[in-house]
């Protein structure tokens, strides 16, 4: 990777990935794009930034040529909860956006990273230690788009030799950016609420296990897989990756150990609960470990120390 274009750069992953890639690859080599401006000042002022709707394939092609891009990182997408409220918009953005990225990658011979998700699994999937290759059949529109995307990326690699790569991200937890309408968002909001209000009402049941990951590990995964030796990659797209699996009562207990007055209660959101219940409890990520040395650094304890420490400083400043 030398010249990288990021779509959806103002989102939860994009904001932090852009910062990191600008540091590591040079400000002049990273083109951050987003559907609208005015969302994020540092993103727009500290380097190259272009307004681009990923559904506009012509503009994606023009920008890729203009900046001599060699890698597209496609992060423009709607997540699971917003997707259930507007399935046609989700399909339009997630699928037509990915299709445009694949077409441009094919035409200009670029590398393409696009994330899949734990949402690509469904109720018939084995729930514990979910294998890399297994039954998928998701029930959310977001999950349907993710499986379709996995297959489309495999197809472009097999048919046209496009260098497509991707991981199945679990819920991502970050302090420097907020998630945008997913089922796993509670695991970010709980930390903010713990620092600000000392209490949180969770929309998922206490014993709902889901895979999760702290953002520094997620950014490592993107960089590591994009830089991985292609001759080692048997899967290429849709690698299972995880760093931890916990349920709301466990993250609550981790916070209570550090903030004994923290109060956690529950008010179950049936739509979110149904989505979470259709996803795995914990993934088997051994293929990613074998094929490109995936090895996350943060567990629940380390992440909780870091999140609370950073958010306390952040909210004290305000």
Of the candidate spans 60-68, 113-121, 129-137, 291-299, the one that interacts with ligand SER by CB under 6 A turns out to be 113-121
Residue 184 touches ligand SER, criterion: CB under 6 A = yes
Nearer to ligand SER by Cβ, of 70 and 185: the residue is 185
What's the min distance (Å) between Cβ of 183 and ligand SER? 4
What's the min distance (Å) between Cβ of 151 and ligand SER? 17
Residue 71 touches ligand SER, criterion: CB under 6 A = no
Nearer to ligand SER by Cβ, of 49 and 279: the residue is 279
Nearer to ligand SER by Cβ, of 194 and 218: the residue is 218
Question: CB atoms < 10 A from the CB of 39, how many?
Answer: 13
Residue 79 touches ligand SER, criterion: CB under 6 A = yes
Residue 183 touches ligand SER, criterion: CB under 6 A = yes
What's the min distance (Å) between Cβ of 120 and ligand SER? 9
Nearer to ligand SER by Cβ, of 31 and 119: the residue is 119
Of the candidate spans 158-166, 180-188, 240-248, 249-257, the one that interacts with ligand SER by CB under 6 A turns out to be 180-188
Size of the site for ligand SER (CB under 6 A): 11
Nearer to ligand SER by Cβ, of 78 and 110: the residue is 78
Alpha carbons within 13 angstroms on the beta-carbon side of residue 151 total 10
> Is 142 among the catalytic positions?
yes
Residue 174 touches ligand SER, criterion: CB under 6 A = no
Lookup result for tokens 């400043």: 317
Catalytic one among 99, 142, 155, 209? 142
Residue 80 touches ligand SER, criterion: CB under 6 A = yes
Residue 171 touches ligand SER, criterion: CB under 6 A = yes
Residues 56 and 43 sit within 8 Å (Cβ to Cβ): no
Residues 165 and 206 sit within 8 Å (Cβ to Cβ): no
Q: Which residues are catalytic?
A: 142
Note the residues at the interface with ligand SER (CB under 6 A): 79-80, 117-119, 142, 169, 171, 182-184
């Amino acid at each position: 990777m030398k010249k990288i274009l990021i779509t959806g750069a103002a989102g939860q992953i994009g904001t932090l990935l852009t910062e990191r890639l600008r540091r590591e690859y040079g400000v002049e080599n990273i083109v951050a794009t987003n559907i609208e401006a005015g969302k994020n000042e540092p993103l727009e002022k500290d380097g190259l930034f272009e307004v681009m709707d990923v559904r506009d394939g012509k503009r994606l092609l023009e920008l890729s040529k203009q900046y001599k891009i060699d890698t597209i990182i496609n992060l423009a997408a709607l997540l699971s909860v917003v997707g259930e409220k507007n399935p046609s918009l989700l399909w339009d953005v997630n699928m037509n956006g990915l299709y445009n990225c694949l077409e441009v990658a094919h035409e200009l011979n670029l590398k393409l990273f696009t994330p899949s998700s734990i949402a690509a699994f469904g109720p018939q999937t084995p729930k514990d230690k979910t294998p890399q290759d297994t039954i998928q059949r998701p029930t959310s529109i977001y999950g349907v788009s993710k499986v379709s995307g996995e297959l489309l990326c495999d197809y472009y690699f097999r048919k046209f030799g496009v260098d497509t790569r991707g991981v199945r991200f679990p819920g991502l937890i970050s302090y420097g950016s907020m998630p945008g309408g997913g089922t796993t968002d509670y695991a970010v909001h709980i930390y903010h609420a713990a620092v600000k209000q000392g209490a949180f009402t969770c929309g998922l049941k206490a014993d709902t296990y889901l895979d999760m990951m702290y953002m520094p590990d997620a950014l490592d995964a993107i960089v590591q897989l994009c830089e991985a030796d292609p001759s080692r990659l048997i899967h290429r797209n849709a690698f299972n990756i995880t760093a931890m699996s916990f349920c709301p009562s466990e993250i609550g207990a981790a916070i209570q150990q550090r903030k004994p007055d923290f109060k956690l209660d529950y008010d179950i959101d049936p739509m979110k609960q149904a989505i979470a219940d259709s996803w795995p409890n914990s993934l088997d990520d051994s293929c990613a470990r074998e094929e490109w040395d995936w090895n996350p650094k943060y567990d629940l304890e380390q992440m909780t120390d870091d999140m609370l420490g950073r958010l306390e400083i952040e909210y004290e400043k305000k």
